[in-house]
A and B are shown apart, each in its own frame.
Chain A
Amino acid sequence: MSGLLGVTGRGLVLLVLAALGLAVAPFVADRYLVSVLTTVLWFAYVGQAWNVMMGFSGLLSLGHALYVGLGAYVSAALFVHFGIGPWAGMVLAMLVAVVAGCIIGFLGFRFGVKGVHFALLTIAFAEVARIGFDHITWVGGSGGFFLPVEAGASDPLNLRGSPVLFYYVALALVVGALFLSRALLHSRLGYQWLAVREEPDAAEASGVDLFRARMTAVAVSSALTALGGVFQAFYFNNLFPEQVFSMGRSIEIILPAIVGGIGTLVGPILGAFILTPLGEVLTFLIEAGGLDLPGLKQLFYGAALVAIVVFRPEGVWPWLARRLRLVRQPGEGA
């Protein structure tokens, strides 16, 4: 069992404690804390989804808001216009996101668009979607798209219900993504991804189909991210292109993995647990200090980002795991 994430006995104890804590959290926490934890889990999940592309396969996407937005809008439109619930709608939502991802991937990889240029291509598509959805009146255009809300509704089949329901759905997404990521990393495909990330030329020379490996990474990542979008649509019940597809959202998606540790399994989760509470604490401190300066919180956020990338460039998780001996070091016996 301790072979699960390469953790030591001590790491396993901590992991089990954390999982138990999250499982019982809604019974002891108040509404505010549950909503913060739900946000944390959402960012952890989309961070995990992004990590498949950047962390496992070395493809820098700065436009993941596109997949969130497509997932959100497709599932919401199916629900509002055709009465199709999210459990069925998510299949189409993921499919649409995968198609979008594959179009970007196909164009990028076939035409040899690399590195910064590829990142820019992803931004460009997300921005095109943002401006485009501003003008699609079928889903509300720039005025926003709203899902019907009934007070006290409890209909898990349509993902309608209390915040606690959403909390557990988000928790399930994170746990599911964790096991999926691990399974992928230890599969033939996962090893190909790592080879492509580290040495694309050498990987190709040893028979890895670069194009196929990269396309599957984009497909998996965009499908997972779209699920996060479905969740977002039904949790917040309103969608605005300016928020859902914004560059700022794309950046928020990549931060957990970068702060926690790119390419690691636990990194995005830890990163989300650092970033969201940090933001909440900052809000609290600013309010307690009686300072009502718009921008102060984001300013600290920016400073924290710079500090993390300067002092912990490989992310917090690898460092923490080493310091606390939570993972087996290379060369250490099982």
Chain B
Amino acid sequence: MPIDYYLNIAASGLLTGLVYGLAALGLSVIFGVVRVVNFAHGEMMVAGMYGAVLLGGWLGLDPLLSAPLMAALLFACGWLLQRGLVNKFVERPEHMQFILLLGIATILVNAMLMLFGPDARNVQVPYSFDTVEIGPMLLDAVRLRAGAAAIVVAAALFAFFRFSRTGKAIRACADNPLGARVVGLNIDGLYALTFGIGAAVVGVAGALMTLLVDARPQLAPEYTLLSFIIVIVGGLGSLPGALLGGVLIGMSEALAGFLLTPSLKSLFSYGVLIVVLLLRPQGLLGKRS
């Protein structure tokens, strides 16, 4: 088999992995700052997918253009969720937070099942079957666009946390909540903002994902677990780690699906997870606590 084959598969896995990584970024931001594990993350992502599917059906909107709208919508939902429910649970034990978000996830996924039914839905784009030739590789136009958009959003997020005053304030909260409170930061407000940002990011990832995968409610728990795996592999709280983890998992899935059987591809992701948890529990790019 020619090496081009593997290059092609690795490259398309990398592009899918960038979208995975973007979804995981949202989870990482929320966990890194609010210290709450968002167990409804995949459900939020699938909500973003359905949003893009609906907008595509009604207005013929390209998912790339639906993405900002989904970001706005999910930001509002995430903000309200943190203000209304999750904030009360920030100081409570982990299993309580887990049950709360599990309940929310159950509500979300079943609401989507009732609204949209169990069948797969997709968005029609004019370039769905186009391919782009880059050197020896032949890449899908949809995958290239989704991957590029994921990079743009991730870069905007990095810039926000590095350069803006609000971003720095959020990082201060993450490093030392007590100290942040002492210097007068509004912790509850920043937590709500952070949860909103995390939800917005995963909403965008969902909208982009519709370019690659048909929307189904059953995807939600899979994406929740996938985001977790990626965040742990990359390192909790490390934003570049989440992207790197996404790319690694995306590529290992693609190669495993090709070399073994597609039904074994997630076994590979769990294998990577177990190895990383044991050899480097803080993740590839995480700092040892």
Contact = CB atoms under 8 A, between A and B. Distances in A.
A and B from one assembly?
Answer: yes
Interface in B244-263: 263
Interface string A120-148: 11011101100110110000001000000
Given A262-B95, A306-B85, A251 B102 contact: yes
B85 A310 contact: yes
Interface stretch (A20-28, A33-41, A111-119): A111-119
Interface in A213-247: 247
B237 to A, nearest CB: 12
A131 B222 CA distance: 13
Given A132-B267, A295-B114, A116 B37 contact: yes
Nearest to B107: A302
A180 interface: no
A178 to B, nearest CB: 22
A303 interface: yes
Interface residues of A, number: 43
B95 A54 contact: yes
A107 interface: yes
Interface stretch (B139-147, B149-157, B268-276): B268-276
**Main DSSP-derived SS at the B contact region:** helix
Nearest to B272: A124
A120 B273 contact: yes
Contacts of B267: 128, 131-132
Interface in A121-179: 121, 123-125, 127-128, 131-132, 134-135, 142
Contact of B99 (A107, A247, A295, A305): A305
A324 interface: no
A127 B225 contact: yes
Contacts of A16: none
B277 A111 contact: yes
B132 interface: no
Contact of B281 (A112, A134, A301): A112
Contacts of B167: none
A119 B229 CA distance: 12
A328 B103 CA distance: 33
A298 interface: yes
A124 B278 CA distance: 12
A214 B105 CA distance: 31
Nearest to A112: B281
B267 to A, nearest CB: 5
A247 B229 CA distance: 14
A309 B103 contact: yes
Contacts of A258: 95, 99
Interface in A286-322: 293-296, 298-299, 301-306, 309-310, 313
Contacts of B225: 123, 127, 247
A270 interface: no
A310 B107 CA distance: 15
Contacts of A113: 277-278, 281
Contact of A294 (B94, B96, B113): B113
Contacts of A70: none
A309 B102 CA distance: 11
A128 B271 CA distance: 8
A66 interface: no
Interface string B209-240: 00000000100010001001100100000000
A305 B103 CA distance: 5
Nearest to A291: B114
Nearest to B108: A302
A194 to B, nearest CB: 15
A299 B263 contact: no
Given A123-B228, A131-B264, A299-B111, 18 more contacts: A60-B94, A113-B277, A113-B281, A120-B229, A121-B277, A128-B267, A128-B274, A248-B221, A251-B102, A293-B114, A295-B114, A296-B114, A304-B103, A305-B103, A306-B103, A306-B107, A310-B85, A310-B88
12 contacts: A117-B232, A123-B228, A125-B274, A128-B267, A131-B263, A247-B225, A258-B95, A295-B217, A298-B110, A299-B114, A301-B106, A310-B88
Ordered nearest first, which 4 A-B pairs have the shortest CB separation? A302-B106, A305-B103, A295-B110, A295-B113
Interface of A: 54, 60, 62, 107, 111-113, 115-117, 119-121, 123-125, 127-128, 131-132, 134-135, 142, 247-248, 251, 258, 262, 293-296, 298-299, 301-306, 309-310, 313
Interface of B: 37, 85, 88, 92, 94-96, 98-100, 102-107, 109-111, 113-114, 118, 217, 221, 225, 228-229, 232, 263-264, 266-267, 270-271, 273-274, 277-278, 281
